[in-house]
């Protein structure tokens, strides 16, 4: 009997502790207007419209000269010519909707372009140690929620793979770190993603820009991938020769 | 998947700090309690399927449980397709015609020193429905299950939102077709149409009109995935053509490897000429 009573007291104390903890959260939650969408579910097909980019000019280091930018431009042209995987961040600037799907362990971002999928892992807190990691065009990404914002940090993007020039100026290198912040807006029909690049060799201050995606229609169907044939001679000609007025 | 990739992933899994795993489990309890009380859903499980639905999410690797040594040998053990007489005749004609000049013919025994082309070198996205030797990753969401490979290939989009297949007259066939699915008896069951014409393991064939039903079911410990494929097409088969492929769950926290291909490298498209044997 005494044992049962002790258990009852323990259970009551546990319940009181949980109730106290919840009471610290509930008032704030109650004060907020009820959302008609789940702010923690960014799954869906998302389109980047022509008015979906807010891109300030990057604050570049003096060492990033026009000649250095020209080198990256040439490298990117070669990547396009040979259909290399687009990589981050330009994969996110897609002419087709991007497919974001959440599970308990990861958020997958899949593309209809020449880009490999992004795996954003939820079951670890830190990015991989880079000496353990085979660098890829999309890097190693981990994500977590801060309130209603899904925060993703990415490292390990191979500076030699894909498109390296960044929106707003500058470029990514193997040492760059990217932080993305995803937040639903417009009643769940818009997804605002801010991209912040840190790389002291390239930027004087972190370079931040934002995309605002709009949700694709409910029954959007994935289309045949926009593929790229590096051996197509007509296409190769298109790249090789400057445009002519004739 | 190249050996170095699996080694790296294994190393990564071994180095996963147990403290983080313990922390995650510890954190999961208060998050679940708080989320339930708030009438919302814990962030990590926002799109997690409800109970009774198999947890297929994660990395998977096709296995050779019978020691066949290659996919062709593995497929040789599948029940052979039972073809209609008309279709069997057509296949025979195609076999006699042989493959395109220079193309790799899996049915031919190559002589030593005889070159053949194994890849066009485009680093393209041929894709397909069965997993190949690379790992594949499944992500389950309420409205869609996505399966992606680690090497180029169309992802599989399995719509779970109740939509029907499109009218095939208005659908451009693809290597992965159009798939709609549901959960049934603890398994993921999905139906695919709109596939590009081509071969199917164990002597089968598919066209856009062929109906493929796949059933993904888990072993009781959740670590083995049985993928049962059933092709139905009255113009090709006298009875449904069924076979199974097994996969094993990847290591905890296994990273997705990125198969990278450089089409500018001429070696990508060179023929393979086995050296002469003494």
Query: A85-89, A127-131, A217-221, B273-277: lowest mean pLDDT where?
Result: B273-277
Cβ pair A102:B121 closer than 8 A: no
pTM of the full predicted structure? 0.80
Of the candidates A99, A88, A80, the residue with the CA atom closest to the CA atom of residue A223 = A99
Q: Is the pLDDT of residue B79 over 80?
A: yes
Q: Is the pLDDT of residue B175 over 80?
A: yes
Largest CA distance in chain A: 99
Residue identified by tokens 């949980």 is: A18
Asked if A235 reaches chain B (Cβ–Cβ under 8 Å), the answer is: no
Report the pLDDT value the prediction gives residue B42, as an integer from 0 to 100. Answer: 32
What residue of B is the nearest CA neighbor of A228?
Answer: B124
**First-to-final CA distance of chain A:** 99
Asked if A230 reaches chain B (Cβ–Cβ under 8 Å), the answer is: yes
Give residues 216 to 235 of B whose Cβ lies within 8 Å of A: none
- Min Cα separation A34/chain B (Å): 11
Q: Beta partners for A98?
A: A46
**Cβ atoms within 10 A of the Cβ of B106, count?**
8
Give residues 165 to 194 of B whose Cβ lies within 8 Å of A: 166, 172, 174, 178
Non-local CB neighbours of A161 within 8 Å, separated by 6+ positions:
A79, A84, A85, A87, A135, A136, A137, B260
Burial A96-108 (b: 16+ CB within 10 A, else e): bbbbbbbbbbbbb
ipTM of the prediction: 0.82
Q: How confident is the model at residue A132 (pLDDT cuts 50, 70, 90)?
A: confident
- Min Cα separation A59/chain B (Å): 32
Closest in A40, A85, A124 to B41, CB measured = A40
- What distances in angstroms separate CA B132 from CA A99, B124, B128, B174, B245, one per listed residue? 23, 15, 9, 17, 10
Report the pLDDT value the prediction gives residue A202, as an integer from 0 to 100. Answer: 98
Non-local CB neighbours of A30 within 8 Å, separated by 6+ positions:
none
Cβ pair B148:A110 closer than 8 A: yes
Report the pLDDT value the prediction gives residue A138, as an integer from 0 to 100. Answer: 95
Asked if B33 reaches chain A (Cβ–Cβ under 8 Å), the answer is: yes
A156-A160-A166-A170 Cα dihedral, nearest 10 degrees? 100
Alpha-carbon span A155 to A152, nearest angstrom = 10
Residues A134-144, mean pLDDT to the nearest whole number: 95
- Min Cα separation A175/chain B (Å): 19
Of the candidates B62, B45, B44, B82, the residue with the CA atom closest to the CA atom of residue B216 = B62
Give residues 99 to 138 of B whose Cβ lies within 8 Å of A: 120-125, 137
């Amino acid at each position: 009997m005494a044992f049962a009573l002790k258990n009852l007291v323990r259970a009551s104390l546990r319940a009181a502790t949980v109730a106290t903890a919840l009471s610290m959260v509930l008032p704030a939650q109650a004060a907020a207007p009820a959302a008609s969408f789940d702010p923690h579910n960014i799954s869906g097909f998302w389109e980047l419209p022509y008015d979906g980019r807010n891109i300030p000019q990057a604050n570049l280091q003096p060492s990033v000269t026009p000649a250095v930018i020209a080198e990256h431009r040439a490298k990117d042209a070669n990547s396009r010519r040979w259909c290399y995987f687009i990589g981050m961040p330009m994969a996110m600037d897609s002419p087709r909707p991007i497919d974001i799907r959440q599970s308990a362990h990861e958020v997958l971002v899949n593309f209809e372009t020449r880009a490999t999928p992004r795996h954003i892992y939820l079951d670890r807190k830190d990015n991989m140690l880079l000496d353990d990691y085979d660098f890829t065009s999309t890097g190693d990404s981990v994500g977590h929620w801060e309130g209603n914002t899904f925060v993703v940090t990415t490292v390990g993007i191979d500076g030699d793979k894909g498109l390296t020039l960044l929106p707003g100026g500058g470029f990514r290198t193997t040492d760059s770190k990217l932080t993305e912040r995803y937040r639903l807006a417009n009643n769940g029909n818009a997804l605002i993603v801010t991209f912040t690049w840190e790389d002291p060799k390239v930027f004087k201050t972190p370079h931040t820009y934002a995309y605002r995606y709009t949700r694709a229609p409910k029954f959007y169907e994935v289309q045949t991938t926009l593929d790229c044939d590096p051996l197509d001679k007509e296409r190769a000609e298109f790249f090789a020769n400057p445009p002519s007025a004739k | 998947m190249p050996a170095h990739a699996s080694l790296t992933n294994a190393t990564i899994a071994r180095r996963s700090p147990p403290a983080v795993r313990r922390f995650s489990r510890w954190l999961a309890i208060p998050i679940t309690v708080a989320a339930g009380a708030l009438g919302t859903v814990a962030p990590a499980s926002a799109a997690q399927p409800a109970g009774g639905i198999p947890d297929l999410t994660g990395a998977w690797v096709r296995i050779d449980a019978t020691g066949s040594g290659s996919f062709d040998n593995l497929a040789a053990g599948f029940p052979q397709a039972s073809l209609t007489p008309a279709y069997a005749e057509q296949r025979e004609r195609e076999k006699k015609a042989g493959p395109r000049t220079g193309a790799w013919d899996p049915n031919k025994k190559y002589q030593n020193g005889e070159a053949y082309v194994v890849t066009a070198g485009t680093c393209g996205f041929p894709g397909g429905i069965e997993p190949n030797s690379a790992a594949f990753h499944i992500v389950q969401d309420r409205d869609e299950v996505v399966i992606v490979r680690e090497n180029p290939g169309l992802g599989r989009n399995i719509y779970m939102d109740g939509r029907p297949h499109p009218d095939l007259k208005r659908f451009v066939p693809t290597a992965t077709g159009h798939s709609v699915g549901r959960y049934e008896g603890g398994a993921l069951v999905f139906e695919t149409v709109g596939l590009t014409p081509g071969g199917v393991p164990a002597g089968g064939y598919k066209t856009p009109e062929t109906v493929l039903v796949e059933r993904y079911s888990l072993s009781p410990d959740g670590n083995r995935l049985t993928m049962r494929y059933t092709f139905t097409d009255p113009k090709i088969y006298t009875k449904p053509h069924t076979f199974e492929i097994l996969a094993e769950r990847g290591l905890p926290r296994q990273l997705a490897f990125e198969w990278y291909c450089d089409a500018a490298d001429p070696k990508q498209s060179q023929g393979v000429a086995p050296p002469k044997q003494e």
